[in-house]
Amino acid sequence: MSLDFGPAVALSCRECGTRYPLGPSFACQECFGPLEAAYSFGEVTRAQIESGPANIWRYRSLLPVPADVASKPNMNPGWTKLVKAGNLGRALGIKSLYVKDDSGNPTHSFKDRVVAMAVEAARNFGFHTLSCSSTGNLAGAVTAAAARAGLDACVFIPANLEQAKIAMARVFGGKLIGIEGTYDDVNRFCSELIGDPLGDKWGFTNINLRPYYAEGSKTLAYEIAEQLGWRLPEQIIIPIASGSQLTKIDKGFKELVTLGLVEDTPYKIFGAQAAGCSPVSTAYKAGHDVVQPVKPNTIAKSLAIGNPADGPYVLDIARRTGGGVEDVTDPEIVAAIKLLASTEGIFAETAGGVTVGVLKKLTESGQLDPEAETVVLNTGDGLKTLDAISDDARPTAVIRPSLDAFRATV
């Protein structure tokens, strides 16, 4: 089988550095550490990138994909808006604030970015079925991308997910299987399925395709830097589910520096969790290097991973960059969703409520510099998590169709 992963040349263990040939592997055989894509980059210039398409494939020379990736049937996500959030900044006392709004992706979450990488890996390996364990957004992104790519799809979710996310995953076809239990139970089941004949020729985006899939999150770092005029933000707030998105954004920033595409300036990375599922935040505040698993209990179901695989790496990055990890309660999440909507016209799902809530909390506690250029991520569309604001699902008032009635109401 001839494999074409562009500039990616091997898989490398993040713990011990052992290298392996490119393949559908995700764990080191020496130390069981996670594998990630390793590269041999050629010359990459700003001009080359800027001449590319208005999606993630403008960065194809930095990703594990073939050079002709843009010509293949794919969802072509990315190049979402970086919104100058002056109203929200004034409300919170932050001088220069931006919202990276990934709700503009094809299935309305950042997951389209990572799934696009997994589709190309599945093609390379000759897989016929795309699968995943999901807290919701990934399920919809996988079934949509599989439909577009002409692949079968079978995805697995906790049975108690938000109805909007279940409906979205179903509408694209394929099979949607609800599992009784938490996301961590679903993920364990999928890991068992990989070793069973039933899972033969299946590409699990966030398991056996994870080294390629996870690289899609780097495109958030690339876009933010390019949209800021080829510079790194001074502070960034990123939601934590597995922790992979945060680690890959850090990786993307470092690659841009190494390649000379941006100046090497300091940046602080802050992780954001819901209090009902905050194992990384708890470990950070206690000064621990190990993340103790928890049982999730929060409205932010897209972040409800009680045993985050990249948790220890998040701790390392937060400490190395001078950032931190914080969490907010469910009522604070709802208040933050409403604050972002009423100031910037951006309707975030609960994960966006977590990042904006943490942004507010960090600013009020003095952990965030209000004078520094700051970016906060919104990773999904609020229409997917309407239950969180169900109290507002009614008119301000109901009146008779007359001016007198309206005057009386006003």
Among 108-117, 197-206, 230-239, 260-269, the range scoring the smallest mean pLDDT is: 197-206
- Res. 312 pLDDT band, cuts 50 70 90: very high
User: Please, what is the average pLDDT of the chain?
Assistant: 95
Mean pLDDT of 156-175: 91
Q: Is residue 227 predicted with pLDDT exceeding 80? A: yes
Query: In this structure, which amino acid lies at residue 104?
Result: G
Mean pLDDT of 152-180: 92
Helix and strand counts by DSSP (H, E) for the chain: 14, 13
Query: What is the pLDDT, as a whole number, of residue 163?
Result: 87
Query: What is the pLDDT, as a whole number, of residue 394?
Result: 85
Q: Is residue 330 predicted with pLDDT exceeding 70? A: yes
Mean pLDDT of 76-86: 98
DSSP assignment of 113-161: HHHHHHHHHHHHHT--EEEEE-SSHHHHHHHHHHHHHT-EEEEEEETT-
Q: Is residue 164 predicted with pLDDT exceeding 80? A: yes
Q: Is residue 331 predicted with pLDDT exceeding 70? A: yes
Q: Is residue 258 predicted with pLDDT exceeding 90? A: yes
Instruction: Tell which phi-psi region holds residue 263, choosing left (phi > 0), alpha (psi between -120 and 50) or beta.
Output: beta
Query: What is the pLDDT, as a whole number, of residue 1?
Result: 60
Cα(288)–Cα(316) distance, integer angstroms: 10
Mean pLDDT of 50-58: 98
Residue pair 391/397 in contact by the 8 Å Cβ criterion: no
- Res. 396 pLDDT band, cuts 50 70 90: confident
**Three-state DSSP state, 217:** helix
